[in-house]
C-alpha cells in the first residue's frame, strides 16, 4: 500500500508539473505571437514622421537596383546563411527624388553610392534623369563615394559636385561580354546537346554546343556594346563637362594616367575633372554641417538627424490619393510556366494578377513594367493574351521596357497598346529554340546500358539516357519552326507590320531601345514615368494615383516582406556590392545564376524564347 501511495503521489506531482509547464508553454507561444503581430503593425502602420524645414534628402541605394524587391527570409542569418540580399527598388528612388523636387522643406539631395551593386544601364539612366529634374529646381545635388565603380560613377556624374576619398579611385573599364563555352568539355565527356532553333542570331544555346562565339553573335554583341557605351560615355562627358579626348584617354590609358600621378588614383580622377574634391569622411560631415546647417547621416555615425529614403517615402505616401488609379505590374526575371519562383515571372500568377486588375473598377489603366530576357513560350503567350483581353475590356495597356525586354519579354510586350523603351534597353531577340541533352555516351563508357520496349516511336524518345530518335528530332524542329512563325505573326499583328518586315529584324537579333524605335518594334522612347503618363492620357486621366499590385500575399509573405525591408533598410555594408563586382565573384555568381535558371525551366512543350543578354 505504501508503494502504491508513493506512485500516486509522484503521479500527481508529475501531472501538476506537466500542467504547469504546458500552461507556461502556451503563454510563451501566445506572447511571441502577439509580439510578432505588434512588430508587423509597427512596421506597416507607422505614422509619417515630421519633416522639418531645411531637410536634406539622403539616398544610399544598397545592393542590386531592381524593379521590384524579392521576398526573402531575413531569418536565414540565424540558420548560418548570408541573410537577405540587398536590393533597392528603382521606383522608390524615383518617387523620392521627384517628390523632393517640389518640396520646399527639402533643400538638397545627397547621393552615397558606396553600397550600390549591379544596376542595368537603363535604370541608372532613369535615375540620372530624375536627378537632373531635381537640379532644375535650383537645389544642389552632392555625391560622395569612398571609391566609384563604373555604375556608381555613372550615377554620381549627374550631381553638381562629386566628392571622393583621398585613398579612392574612379574605375571606368568600358563594357564587355564574355561567355563561358562548354562545347569541348561536353564533347570530351561524350554528352551531346541537341539544339533546335530558328534564327542565326539566337545564341542562347551556343555555350553548350560551341567552343567560341559565333560570327553572328560577335557582330550583334559588338553593335550592342558600342551603342550602350555611347549612352554611358555621353552621360559622363555632358554631366562633367569633359572633352571626348579627356574621357577616352582616362579610359583607354588608365595605366598611363596612374603612372603620371604616381599611382594615386584619387589625384588622377581630380586632375582629369572626374571629381571636384578629395575629402575624408570626417571632412565630408563637417562640410555638410557648415553648408546645410544640420548633420547628415553617414554609415559610421548614429543619432544624426537625416531624411533617408524610407522616412521620406513614408511622408510622401501619407498624403491622400486621387480616386483614379493607374496600376503598374512588374514582370521581372525569367518567364516560367505555373506560379514561378522568387525572382522569376510565373505565367499563371502574372496572368491571374492581370485578370484581377482588369476586374478592379478602381483601376483605369495598366502599365506592364518588363525586365526580362524571356523564357517559356507557353507562359509568354498566356501573359500576352491576358493583356490583350484587358485592352478589349476598355482599359489601356502600356508596356514599359526596363533594362531588358527581349525574346519572351518582347512577346508579352506585344499585348500592349503602346510599347515604351529606354534608349539603353535591350530588346528584340525574336526567335525560339529548344535544347535536349543526351548522356548515352558517358553511360556506355562506364558500362551502363539502357534497354526496353515502347508502343510508339516517340515513347521514351526524349529519355537522355538513350540516343535521340531521328523522328523525334524532326518533330521537334517542325514544332520550333511553327513556334517561330507564331512569334513572327504575333509581332506583325501587334505592330501593324507584314510578317516579312518582322522577319528582317527578327532571327534572334538583339537591339537597343533606340534602334528598335527606328525599326518599328517600339512606339516611343522614355522611362517608367513616361509610360505611366501615356497610360493616363489614353484613359483620359488628369489626376491619378499610381499603384503597384503584387497579387495576394500570405500573412507569412507579408511578415517576411516587412522584416526584410526593415533589415535591408539599415545602413548597407558596401562590401557585399564590392564582392559582386569582383572578377571571381562575378564569374561564380553568373555561373550559379545560369545553372539555377536552367534547372527551373519548365515549359510544357520545352519551347523557349530566351535571350542570352544582360544589360551592363
101-116 pLDDT, tens digit each: 999 999 999 999 999 9
- List the single range of 173-177, 383-387, 504-508, 611-615 with lowest mean pLDDT: 611-615
pLDDT band at residue 581 under the 50/70/90 scheme: very low
Choose among 492, 494, 528, 486: nearest CA to 388.
Answer: 494
The residue to which cell 502574372 is assigned = 350
Q: Which of 85-94, 256-265, 436-445 has the highest mean pLDDT?
A: 256-265
Q: Which CATH number fits domain 325-429+487-610: 3.90.226.10, 1.20.1050.10, 3.30.300.30, 3.90.110.10?
A: 3.90.226.10
Choose among 237, 84, 238, 213: nearest CA to 576.
Answer: 84
Mean per-residue pLDDT for 37-49? 52
pLDDT band at residue 203 under the 50/70/90 scheme: confident
pTM of the model: 0.82
Choose among 299, 355, 371, 275: nearest CA to 69.
Answer: 371
Question: What percent of the chain shows pLDDT beyond 70?
Answer: 77
pLDDT at 175: 95
Could you tell me where in the chain the CATH 3.90.226.10 domains are found?
55-174+228-316, 325-429+487-610
The residue to which cell 512577346 is assigned = 411
Mean pLDDT of the chain: 84
Contact of 353 with 363, CB cutoff 8 Å: no
> Homologous superfamily of 55-174+228-316 in CATH?
2-enoyl-CoA Hydratase; Chain A, domain 1 (3.90.226.10)
- List the single range of 250-259, 327-336, 452-461 with lowest mean pLDDT: 452-461
The DSSP code sequence of 30-92 is HHHHHHHHHHHHHHHSPPPPP--TTEEEEE---BEEESS-----GGGGGGTS--SPPEEEHHH
Cβ-based burial of 42 (10 A; exposed 0-12, middle 13-18, buried ≥19)? exposed
Question: What percent of the chain shows pLDDT beyond 90?
Answer: 59
| CA–CA distance, 402 with 314 (Å, rounded to integer) | 25
- List the single range of 337-341, 490-494, 586-590 with lowest mean pLDDT: 586-590
| CA–CA distance, 335 with 342 (Å, rounded to integer) | 11
pLDDT digits 0-9 by tens, 290-329: 888 755 544 444 333 568 998 899 989 888 888 899 999 9
Query: Does the pLDDT at position 477 exceed 80?
Result: yes
Q: How many CB atoms lie within 10 A of CB 182?
A: 16
Catalytic residue IDs: 202, 407
Provide the sign of the torsion angle of the four alpha carbons 111, 112, 116, 121, taken in this order.
Answer: positive
pLDDT at 54: 84
Mean per-residue pLDDT for 391-416? 96
Query: Does the pLDDT at position 145 exceed 70?
Result: yes
Query: Does the pLDDT at position 7 exceed 70?
Result: no
Question: What does residue 74 show for φ and ψ, rounded to 5 degrees?
Answer: -70, -15
pLDDT band at residue 352 under the 50/70/90 scheme: very high
pLDDT digits 0-9 by tens, 516-570: 999 999 999 999 999 999 999 999 999 999 999 986 555 544 554 555 544 444 4
Contact of 298 with 281, CB cutoff 8 Å: yes
Contact of 199 with 431, CB cutoff 8 Å: yes
Amino acid at each position: 500500500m505504501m508503494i502504491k501511495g508513493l506512485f500516486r503521489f509522484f503521479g500527481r506531482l508529475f501531472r501538476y508539473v506537466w500542467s504547469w509547464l504546458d500552461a507556461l508553454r502556451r503563454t510563451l507561444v501566445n506572447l511571441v505571437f502577439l509580439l510578432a503581430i505588434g512588430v508587423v503593425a509597427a512596421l506597416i502602420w507607422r505614422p509619417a514622421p515630421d519633416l522639418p524645414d531645411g531637410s536634406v534628402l539622403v539616398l544610399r541605394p544598397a545592393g542590386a537596383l531592381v524593379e521590384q524587391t524579392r521576398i526573402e527570409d531575413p531569418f536565414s542569418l540565424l540558420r548560418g546563411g548570408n541573410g537577405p540580399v540587398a536590393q533597392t527598388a528603382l521606383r522608390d528612388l524615383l518617387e523620392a527624388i521627384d517628390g523632393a523636387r517640389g518640396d520646399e522643406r527639402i533643400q538638397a539631395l545627397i547621393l552615397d553610392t558606396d553600397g550600390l551593386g549591379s544596376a542595368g544601364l537603363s535604370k541608372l539612366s532613369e535615375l540620372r534623369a530624375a536627378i537632373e529634374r531635381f537640379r532644375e529646381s535650383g537645389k544642389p545635388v552632392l555625391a560622395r563615394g569612398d571609391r566609384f565603380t563604373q555604375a556608381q560613377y555613372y550615377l554620381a556624374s549627374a550631381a553638381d559636385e562629386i566628392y571622393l576619398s583621398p585613398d579612392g579611385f574612379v574605375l571606368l573599364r568600358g563594357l564587355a561580354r564574355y561567355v563561358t563555352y562548354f562545347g569541348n568539355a561536353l564533347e570530351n565527356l561524350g554528352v551531346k546537346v541537341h539544339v533546335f532553333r530558328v534564327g542565326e542570331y539566337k545564341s542562347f544555346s551556343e555555350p553548350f554546343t560551341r567552343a567560341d562565339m559565333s560570327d553572328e553573335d560577335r557582330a550583334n554583341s559588338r553593335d550592342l556594346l558600342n551603342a550602350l557605351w555611347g549612352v554611358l560615355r555621353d552621360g559622363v562627358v555632358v554631366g562633367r563637362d569633359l572633352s571626348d579626348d579627356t574621357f577616352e584617354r582616362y579610359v583607354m590609358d588608365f595605366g598611363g594616367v596612374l603612372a603620371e600621378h604616381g599611382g594615386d588614383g584619387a589625384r588622377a580622377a581630380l586632375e582629369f575633372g572626374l571629381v571636384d574634391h578629395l575629402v575624408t569622411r570626417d571632412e565630408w560631415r563637417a562640410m555638410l554641417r557648415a553648408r546645410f546647417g544640420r548633420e547628415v547621416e553617414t554609415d559610421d555615425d548614429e543619432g544624426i538627424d537625416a531624411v533617408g529614403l524610407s522616412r521620406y517615402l513614408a511622408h510622401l505616401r501619407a498624403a491622400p490619393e486621387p480616386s483614379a488609379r493607374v496600376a503598374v505590374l512588374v514582370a521581372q526575371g525569367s518567364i516560367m510556366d505555373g506560379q514561378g519562383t522568387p525572382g522569376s515571372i510565373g505565367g499563371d500568377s502574372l496572368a491571374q494578377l492581370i485578370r484581377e486588375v482588369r476586374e478592379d473598377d478602381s483601376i483605369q489603366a495598366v502599365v506592364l513594367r518588363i525586365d526580362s530576357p524571356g523564357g517559356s513560350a507557353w507562359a509568354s503567350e498566356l501573359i500576352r493574351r491576358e493583356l490583350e483581353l484587358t485592352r478589349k475590356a476598355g482599359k489601356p495597356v502600356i508596356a514599359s521596357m526596363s533594362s531588358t525586354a527581349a525574346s519572351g519579354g518582347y512577346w508579352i510586350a506585344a499585348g500592349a497598346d503602346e510599347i515604351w523603351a529606354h534608349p539603353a534597353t535591350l530588346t528584340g531577340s525574336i526567335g525560339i529554340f529548344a535544347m535536349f541533352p543526351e548522356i548515352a555516351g558517358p553511360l556506355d563508357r562506364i558500362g551502363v546500358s539502357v534497354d526496353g520496349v515502347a508502343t510508339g516511336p516517340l515513347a521514351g524518345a526524349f529519355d537522355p539516357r538513350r540516343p535521340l530518335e531521328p523522328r523525334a528530332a524532326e518533330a521537334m524542329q517542325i514544332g520550333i519552326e511553327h513556334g517561330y512563325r507564331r512569334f513572327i505573326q504575333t509581332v506583325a499583328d501587334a505592330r501593324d507590320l507584314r510578317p516579312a518586315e518582322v522577319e528582317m529584324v527578327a532571327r534572334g537579333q538583339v537591339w537597343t531601345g533606340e534602334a528598335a524605335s527606328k525599326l518599328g518594334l517600339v512606339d516611343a522612347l522614355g522611362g517608367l514615368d513616361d509610360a505611366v503618363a501615356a497610360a493616363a492620357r489614353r484613359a483620359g486621366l488628369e489626376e491619378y494615383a499610381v499603384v503597384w499590385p503584387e497579387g495576394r500575399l500570405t500573412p507569412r509573405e507579408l511578415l517576411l516582406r516587412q522584416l526584410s525591408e526593415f533589415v535591408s533598410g539599415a545602413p548597407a555594408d558596401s562590401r557585399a556590392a564590392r564582392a559582386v563586382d569582383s572578377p571571381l565573384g562575378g564569374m561564380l555568381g553568373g555561373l550559379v545564376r545560369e545553372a539555377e535558371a536552367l534547372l527551373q525551366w519548365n515549359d510544357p512543350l520545352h519551347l523557349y524564347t530566351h535571350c542570352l543578354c544582360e544589360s551592363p
